[in-house]
């Protein structure tokens, strides 16, 4: 079964053709990230305007992989390809930005109307988990899923594709949001996650050359809710702690040090480069400590066979490293799945995989954007 999946919930526009929920035939992604880098965050109207421009070319490019016959280059080429090869459509209906969601949804509905193909509505957050069903080995149930993205930090228990139980989530800011907001405080680029990870890596390299991290790294940030019994998270306190730390450090450095260095984007709190790297290191350590600790505790409690990590923050290398280290120390018996970075951040491939395993089409007239679609089931 081949599904044409479309994703446009945030600043990415993506279309993919997925076979039997596990094989990627094509996965085309267009991002307006560069435009948002200038403003240090996503401006919804700019994202949607860019998506209107690129949605059709992105879908066409995804379909081109199906064009195995020479000479199929008339006006109806793409409708012919859909009619001939595609069994069903899949579309993200939420959560996400209303303008962005509508671009994908209205396009998908039009294709469904014209071709008569069934259309499957998809919850973007659940779908992030399914990037792990596009890897070499199919995960086994029961599985624990950690979805860590720009807007969500959620833990789910999957006993089967149909039995997904929400265990907990963030009470305030998401992990990705914390990376983005603290990166902004430090004057680093957008998105903040990769920017913080790069600075943290620099600090790690320097520290191994000079002193041990433990003595060298004097800045210590909190690990919010790490000892809390529940599977909930909270990251807004970490952002406040960074702000407080930065203000203190700035005052000290201004007194001690004339040369202030600001990085790529102007920060309101100019600090020297080493301090920015040191803070980035501690932010990454704090967020990953909490995520790994809670996830492994849940894995142990529910005796799962697999841990599935998904969402943009899953692209963080330190997170995977820590999962591997900690599970080895605790001698835990599960297999860890982490998709390659391109499948962690937003793309239509996992939308198509989710739709295959949750194949519940609805009439196109009933498909609507739900910007605040829930995940608590």
Tokens of 172: 């305030």
Residue 150 found at the interface with ligand KG4 (CB under 6 A): yes
Instruction: Look at residue 107 and give the partner it binds from Zn ion, ligand KG4, none, a contact being a CB closer than 5 to 8 Å depending on partner kind.
Output: none
Q: Distance between CA 351 and CA 342 in Å, rounded?
A: 14
User: Which of 85, 43, 78, 48 has its CA nearest to residue 64?
Assistant: 78
Is-contact 48 11, C-beta < 8 A? Answer: no
Which span sits near ligand KG4 by CB under 6 A: 66-74, 292-300, 312-320, 369-377?
312-320
Q: Which of 346, 347, 355, 367 binds Zn ion (CB under 5 A)?
A: 346
Q: How far is the CB of 220 from ligand KG4 (least distance, A)?
A: 20
> Per CB under 5 A, which region of 142-150, 169-177, 264-272, 362-370 contacts Zn ion?
142-150
169 binds, among Zn ion, ligand KG4, none (CB under 5 to 8 A by kind): none
Asked whether position 149 contacts ligand KG4 by CB under 6 A, the answer is yes
Which part of the chain contacts ligand KG4 (CB under 6 A), choosing from 33-41, 53-61, 104-112, 190-198?
Answer: 190-198
Residue closer to Zn ion by CB (options 154, 346) is 346
Residue 133 CA to residue 96 CA, distance in Å, equals: 23
CA-to-CA separations, 309 to 51, 184, 295, in angstroms, rounded = 27, 25, 10
Nearest residue (CB) to ligand KG4, 86 versus 313? 313
Residue 303 CB, shortest distance to Zn ion, in Å, is 29
Residue 197 interacts with ligand KG4 (CB under 6 A): yes or no: yes
**Binding partner of residue 316 among Zn ion, ligand KG4, none, CB cut-off 5 to 8 Å per kind:** ligand KG4
Q: Are 142 and 304 in contact (CB under 8 A)?
A: yes
Site residues (CB under 6 A) for ligand KG4, limited to 4-23: 10
Question: Which residues on neighbouring strands pair with residue 312, listed in sequence order?
Answer: none
Q: Kindly state whether residue 280 participates in binding ligand KG4, applying the rule CB under 6 A.
A: no
* 82-87 LR contacts (CB < 8 Å, sep 24+): 82/4, 82/111, 82/115, 82/117, 83/115, 85/2, 85/17, 86/2, 86/3, 86/4, 86/17, 86/115, 86/117, 87/1, 87/2, 87/3, 87/117, 87/118
DSSP 52: H
The answer to whether the CB of 156 falls within 8 A of the CB of 129 is yes
Cα dihedral 74/77/79/84 (nearest 10): 130
Q: Which is nearer to ligand KG4, 151 or 224 (CB)?
A: 151
Stated as kind and residue range, the H or E segment containing 88 is strand 88-94
By the rule CB under 6 A, 194 interacts with ligand KG4: yes
State which of positions 317-346 bind ligand KG4 (CB under 6 A): 345-346
Q: Which does 191 bind (CB under 5 to 8 A by kind): ligand KG4, Zn ion, none?
A: ligand KG4
Ranges within 148-207 binding Zn ion (CB under 5 A)? 149
- The residues, ordered by sequence, that sit 6+ positions from 30 with a Cβ below 8 Å of its Cβ are 12, 13, 14, 50, 54, 57, 58
User: Residue with CB nearest ligand KG4?
Assistant: 193
d(CA 201, CA 231): 29
Binds ligand KG4 by CB under 6 A, chosen from 6, 315, 348, 351: 315
Binding site for Zn ion (CB under 5 A): 149, 346
Binding site for ligand KG4 (CB under 6 A): 10, 149-151, 176, 179-180, 191-194, 197, 311-313, 315-316, 345-346
């Amino acid at each position: 079964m081949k599904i044409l999946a479309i994703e446009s919930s945030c600043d990415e526009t993506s279309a993919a053709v997925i076979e039997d929920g596990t094989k990627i035939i094509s996965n085309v992604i267009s991002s307006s990230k560069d435009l948002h880098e200038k403003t240090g965050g996503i401006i919804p109207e700019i994202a949607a305007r860019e998506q209107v421009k690129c949605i059709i070319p992105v879908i066409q490019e995804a379909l081109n992989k199906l064009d195995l016959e020479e000479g199929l280059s008339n006006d109806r080429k793409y409708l012919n390809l859909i009619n001939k090869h595609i069994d069903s459509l899949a579309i993200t209906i939420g959560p996400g930005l209303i303008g962005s969601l509508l671009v994908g949804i209205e396009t998908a509905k039009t294709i469904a109307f014209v071709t008569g193909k069934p259309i499957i509505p998809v919850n973007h957050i659940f779908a992030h988990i399914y990037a792990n069903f596009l890897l070499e080995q199919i995960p086994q149930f029961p599985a624990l899923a950690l979805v860590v993205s720009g807007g969500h930090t959620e833990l789910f228990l999957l006993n089967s594709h149909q039995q997904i139980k929400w265990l907990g989530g963030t009470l305030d800011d998401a992990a990705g949001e914390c990376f983005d907001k603290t990166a902004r405080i430090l004057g680093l680029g957008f998105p903040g996650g990769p920017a913080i990870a790069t600075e943290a890596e620099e600090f790690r390299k320097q520290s191994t050359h000079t002193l041990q991290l433990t003595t060298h790294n004097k800045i210590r940030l909190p690990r919010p809710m790490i000892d809390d019994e529940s599977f909930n998270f909270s990251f807004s306190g970490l952002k406040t702690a960074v702000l407080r730390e930065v203000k203190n450090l700035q005052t000290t450095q201004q007194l001690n040090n004339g040369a202030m260095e600001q990085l790529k984007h102007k920060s309101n709190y100019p600090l020297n480069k080493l301090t920015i790297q040191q803070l980035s290191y501690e932010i990454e350590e704090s967020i990953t400590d909490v995520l790994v600790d809670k996830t492994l505790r849940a894995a142990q409690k529910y005796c799962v066979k697999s841990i599935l990590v998904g969402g943009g923050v899953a692209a963080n290398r330190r997170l995977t490293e820590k999962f591997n280290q900690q599970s080895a120390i605790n001698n835990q018996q599960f297999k860890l799945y982490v998709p390659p970075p391109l499948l962690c951040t937003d793309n239509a491939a996992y939308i198509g995989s989710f739709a295959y395993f949750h194949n519940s089409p609805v009439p196109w007239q009933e498909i609507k954007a739900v910007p605040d679609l829930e995940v608590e089931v």
